[in-house]
Structure 1
Amino acid sequence: MRGKRGLQAAYFVSDSTGITAETLGSALLANFPGVEFRRHTIPFVDTIAGAHNVAQDVRKATVVGAEPLVFATVKSAEILRELGESGAVVIDLLGGHLRELEDALGSPASEQLGQYHGVGNIERYFARMRAVEYAIEHDDGQSMRALDIADVIIVAPSRCGKTPTTMYLALQYGLLVANYPLTDDDYPADGLPAAVSRYVDKCFGLTTTPLRLSQVRHERRPSSTYSSLAQCTLELRRAEDLYRRNRVPFLNSSTKSVEEMSAVIMQSMRLRS
């Protein structure tokens, strides 16, 4: 890398929402843990004038720091050329792959912008919205209604990552996901809590490390029994014993992102979006 380490500007530029540029660009940058990146996401750059403004901003970053990186998901060759005038290293995340697909499919790529993150298939869109409504209704054991139609029921002690994982699976994949909190009242029974015991085949457990759980809980209730290391250790040990006795698959969430946890859950439960 030609830039000065520790001061690397990274721009994610897109003619749509910028989500794809940020996701793919960040995946590439993750391979360079020794470099600190200052990240900027710039969506809806769909005109030459807009690209010119971005190029000016990037050029300023070139002057004050290291040579910037621009990760671009734009279809227009003219816009790409304008971005190239910035003096940055421009990485076209779509271009080569689109040409390969055009050759393989014998069909030109659509020139319409923002197709991936648009509404697209209306049925799929409404399925995701229904899944989000289901997730909200069934968050933290608030409702036991219609658990029979759930794709998965996430079971875990408080603050192990149930809610963000539930919402990600619902919004990203349109899956019907409920989650249920394990509390002191659910022990020392051998089986799962009565509310979810009928659906053991749909259950997936989460755990974490006692120290991590204590830290997270301390932010919510500092200096409480709830956040004490002893209480966290006890709850996690009980939960893992419960998972093993009932053959509920589970994973440790302490070092995994929501995306990684969701991928493991989908693979383990053989779910498809």
Structure 2
Amino acid sequence: MKRTAFFVSDGTGITAETLGHSMLSQFRGVEFEQVTLPYVQSLETTQSAVARINETAERDGQRPVVFSTLVDEEHRALIGRCHGLVLDMFAAFVGPLESELGVRSSHTVGETHAIRDHEAYRIRIDAVHYALDNDDGARTRHYDKADVVLVGVSRSGKTPTCLYLALQFGLYAANYPLTEDDFDDLRLPQSLMPHKDKLFGLTIDPDRLAAIRSERKAGSKYASPRQCDMEVRALEALFNKFNIPSLNATELSIEEISTRILAKTGIQRRLQ
């Protein structure tokens, strides 16, 4: 089954996408064509969004699913009359909150992703810079500032996880790739030893690792199933030898990996 899903927002669309994706993920038998319409902030852009939704309904012969986070009441009313199943996030959540709190919301467009807390924004940017500067073991002299140092074989998801930890939680996350040289006698690189209590390991299924590496260097020893199997086995032995907490990231999203790292280590996020 195929359906179209629209994410309509007067801002970036990130909130509508996040909530929508969470709901749509529960329907595995349906393939959704997903369309994001951000910055719907005027009557003209709202009417254009309605026209696009209606055209899609006519083309598909069935109603699109429309996730809306529009704040303006007139714009919400217009979207509500489109030929789709409209799930109005603002009406669903803000109304009950107003009743419970006894306070009317500001109905201000763009508040979710506005820079209201400049200190929090600075923390996020500094953390991202740290992750980029301390990626792939290029530099290790600043590991004393790290909240966590991810270790694992090449292409096991260390870099994107570090960036997510920085962006979402404001954490200083570095990463260091362990190679064949480190596995010869199951030793940790000397540069990691002073920071052993900050290490967290990422492991991965060897077949999945070979597939990922083949996209980059097909036919190479680096991507061969035998090489990947050897590296993963040695990696896990190294984790066991030095009692490094670890996680198998094969079937996990970056979001899941990051939150599980926090849960396992007890690291406190800087951004709430």
For the 8 Å contact 2:186–2:234, the answer to whether it is kept is no
CA distances 1:117-158 after superposition (whole Å, capped 9, x unpaired): 122210000111101110011000011122111111000000
| Aligned residue among 182, 188, 212 for 1:186 | 182
In the alignment, residue 131 of structure 2 is paired with which amino acid?
Answer: A
2:265: which partner in 1? 269
In the alignment, residue 202 of structure 2 is paired with which amino acid?
Answer: L
For the 8 Å contact 2:183–2:234, the answer to whether it is kept is yes
Structure 2 Cα separation of the partners of residues 121 and 261 of structure 1? 27
CA RMSD of superposed structures (Å) = 1.3
Structure 2 Cα separation of the partners of residues 96 and 37 of structure 1? 23
| Aligned residue among 67, 70, 77 for 2:66 | 70
Q: Which is further off, 63-72 or 94-103?
A: 94-103
Structure 2 Cα separation of the partners of residues 178 and 195 of structure 1? 13
Structure 2 Cα separation of the partners of residues 193 and 101 of structure 1? 53
- Provide TM-score, normalisation by structure 2: 0.95
- Provide TM-score, normalisation by structure 1: 0.95
The gaps in structure 2 that reach 5 residues or longer are none
SS of alignment partner, residue 167 of structure 2: helix
SS of alignment partner, residue 202 of structure 2: strand
1:86: which partner in 2? 82
Runs of 4+ in 1 over 3 A off after TM superposition: 188-191
Residue 18 (structure 2) pairs with residue 23 (structure 1):
yes
2:219: which partner in 1? 223
Summarize the alignment of residues 112-123 of structure 1 with structure 2, pairs less than 5 Å apart. 112-123=108-119
Q: Which is further off, 74-83 or 53-62?
A: 74-83
2:235: which partner in 1? 239
The gaps in structure 1 that reach 5 residues or longer are none
Structure 1 Cα separation of the partners of residues 165 and 89 of structure 2? 26
1:47 positional shift: 1.8
Structure 2 Cα separation of the partners of residues 193 and 99 of structure 1? 56
1:163: which partner in 2? 159
1:108 positional shift: 2.0
For the 8 Å contact 2:64–2:85, the answer to whether it is kept is yes
For the 8 Å contact 2:127–2:173, the answer to whether it is kept is yes
SS of alignment partner, residue 192 of structure 2: helix
For the 8 Å contact 2:65–2:86, the answer to whether it is kept is yes
Structure 2 Cα separation of the partners of residues 86 and 26 of structure 1? 21
1:161 positional shift: 0.4
Q: Which is further off, 253-262 or 98-107?
A: 98-107
1:152: which partner in 2? 148
1:49: which partner in 2? 44
2:195: which partner in 1? 199
For the 8 Å contact 1:191–1:197, the answer to whether it is kept is no
1:111 positional shift: 2.2
In the alignment, residue 79 of structure 1 is paired with which amino acid?
Answer: H
State the number of aligned residues: 268
In the alignment, residue 130 of structure 2 is paired with which amino acid?
Answer: Y
